[in-house]
């Protein structure tokens, strides 16, 4: 089959989230009733990736969350950010961002734990994050009352452009070296 690369490209384009190689294999094998090797798919993925490295294209294929997704190239982020600012209805509130950060760094975490850290009720923020599919229910705690445990979702990984939670900035990255209390000794 000569145009398999075009089918792979179409699958990546049509996917709302990053699409894994296994998903591509499943779709192609189901659609055409023939076996494709993972190496064959990876070769096509590399060819498609190389194609979109060309400066004529404003988009590229990026590997995210162990899958592939079309994204706008960094050269165009300023213009895209204007569009996103215009559509700020989907923007997360400060409370939702704080809640999401706590869940991302402390996961799996319960709502009472999040509320303990924030010092306020988080019902609304957690509900909004669940609706936006940035967090997901990952189980129940063994604590009294068996509260629900929350963690980040695959959409969170796609949205923030990371493959693994370990790629989140560490607390030391936020530390400011300019402010200190007390005397410094040499």
> For 58, how many CA atoms within 13 A lie in the half-sphere containing its CB?
5
Least confident of 55-59, 143-147, 175-179: 175-179
Residue 91, phi then psi, degrees to nearest 5 = -65, 145
Q: What is the mean pLDDT of residues 89-106?
A: 87
d(CA 102, CA 117): 8
Question: Does residue 96 surpass a pLDDT of 70?
Answer: yes
Q: Where are the domains of the chain?
A: 4-77, 92-174
Tokens coding 6 = 């075009």
The pTM (predicted TM-score) of the whole model is 0.53
**pLDDT number for residue 160:** 80
Evaluate whether 27 touches 36 at the Cβ level (below 8 Å). no
d(CA 110, CA 142): 11
Per-residue confidence band for 174, with pLDDT thresholds at 50, 70 and 90: low
Matching CATH number, 92-174, of 3.30.565.10, 3.40.630.30, 1.10.10.10, 3.20.20.70: 1.10.10.10
**pLDDT number for residue 132:** 86
Per-residue confidence band for 39, with pLDDT thresholds at 50, 70 and 90: very high
Does the fold of domain 92-174 match that of domain 4-77?
yes
| Tens digits of residue pLDDT in 45-56 | 999 999 999 999
Question: Does residue 186 surpass a pLDDT of 60?
Answer: no
| CATH architecture of the region 4-77 | Orthogonal Bundle (1.10)
Q: What is the mean pLDDT of residues 162-167?
A: 85
């Amino acid at each position: 089959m000569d145009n398999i690369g075009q089918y792979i490209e179409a699958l990546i384009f049509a996917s709302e989230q990053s699409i894994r190689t296994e998903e591509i294999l499943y779709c192609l094998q189901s659609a055409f009733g023939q076996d494709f090797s993972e190496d064959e798919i990876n070769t096509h993925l590399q060819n498609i990736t190389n194609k979109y490295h060309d400066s004529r294209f404003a988009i590229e294929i990026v590997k995210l969350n162990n899958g592939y997704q079309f994204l706008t190239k960094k050269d165009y982020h300023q213009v895209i950010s204007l569009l996103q600012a215009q559509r700020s209805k989907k923007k997360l509130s400060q409370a939702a961002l704080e809640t999401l950060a706590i869940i991302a760094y402390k996961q799996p975490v319960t709502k009472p734990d999040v509320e303990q850290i924030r010092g306020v009720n988080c019902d609304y923020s957690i509900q909004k994050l669940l609706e936006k599919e940035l967090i997901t229910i990952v189980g129940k705690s063994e604590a009294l009352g068996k509260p629900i445990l929350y963690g980040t979702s695959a959409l969170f990984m796609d949205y923030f452009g990371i493959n693994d939670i370990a790629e989140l900035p560490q607390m030391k990255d936020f530390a400011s070296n300019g402010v200190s209390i007390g005397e410094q000794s040499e």
